[in-house]
Amino acid sequence: MECLKAEVMMEGESEEFEYNKWHNIVLRLPPYHPELNPIEGIWALLKNHIAAHNVTFKLDDVWKLAEDKLKNIGVEEWEKVCAHVAKSEEEYISREHFTDDVHEFIIRVNNDSKSECNYFSSNEDDNDF
């Protein structure tokens, strides 16, 4: 089985807008970032509703609970979820300059008694410490 991740990422890097057969713009969301995807918030609402109201643990009842909740998710809940996503996005953008300022920081851990660093002068013995 080949890894398709690189191919998917290459498709999403295009600056051009992509349209589906209904001429709607296809929005590509960042993978592995549920906090930037509003549907994940709605999914969480649905799962919490089912967990709170499922008393029979029968598949038909779970299905009915899911249908009822999905029918009753209103504009206010969608607005809350989308506002939360927008807030998360703003937080990422505000912190973006911090990642640009980070320099490479490497700590080498080895079992040698001699250090590659020159902290001690040549006349000091390592056993003094």
Among 95, 87, 94, residue whose Cα is nearest residue 35: 87
**Helix (H, G, I), strand (E, B), or coil: what is residue 87?**
helix
Span 33-87, pLDDT tens digits:
889 999 999 999 999 999 999 999 999 999 999 999 999 999 999 999 999 999 9
User: DSSP letter string over the chain?
Assistant: ----HHHHHHHHT-SS--B-TTSPBPPPPPTT-GGG-HHHHHHHHHHHHHHHH--S--HHHHHHHHHHHHHH--HHHHHHHHHHHHHHHHHHHHHHHHHHHPPP--------SS-SS--S-TTS-GGG-
From the CB of residue 69, how many other CB atoms can be counted at a distance below 10 Å? 17
What confidence tier does 28 reach under pLDDT thresholds 50, 70, 90? confident
pLDDT number for residue 118: 54
The domain segmentation of the chain, as residue ranges, is: 33-107
- pTM greater than 0.85 (yes/no): no
